[in-house]
Amino acid sequence: MNQENITFLTEKATEARARSYAPYSGFAVGAALLCADGTVYTGANIEVSAHTPTMCAERVAFARAVHEGQRDFVAIAVVGGPRDGVIDSLCPPCGVCRQVMSEFCRGDFKIILTDGKTPRVLTLDDILPYRFGLNV
């Protein structure tokens, strides 16, 4: 994963963040998912008043990609923070999103997080070392 790809995906995630629907928390998250064929799918969090059916940006991006037939994923960038605030901390995927990533990705799948200054690149194995799966 080179710096150009990291910057590109982070910018796409930031653009997606602007389309977040977060009227309850005010916390907007965007994600940009890179497929092996170079296609990028974006997603933003979508909150609903019952909270349980709320969808995270990462899962929206994966749902869009899987619906289009994609199954080979390289990396995802995730950017989040207060809707009208400055991005100054990392926004790691929640446990449910990590499990969804585990369903479709190998351990070397890259997760790009940023605090607005320095991107941090982790792997799925880094953030979910003891993952559950039927093939584990």
- In angstroms, the Cα distances linking 122 to 8, 14, 97 are 17, 18, 15
Which of 29, 21, 26, 28 has the alpha carbon at shortest distance from 48?
A: 21
Does 58 qualify as catalytic in the annotation? yes
First to last CA, the chain: 26
Cβ contact 48:54 at 8 Å: yes
Q: Of the residues 4, 11, 58, 68, which is catalytic?
A: 58
Which of 25, 22, 27, 64 has the alpha carbon at shortest distance from 46?
A: 22
Task: Provide the annotated active-site residues.
Answer: 58
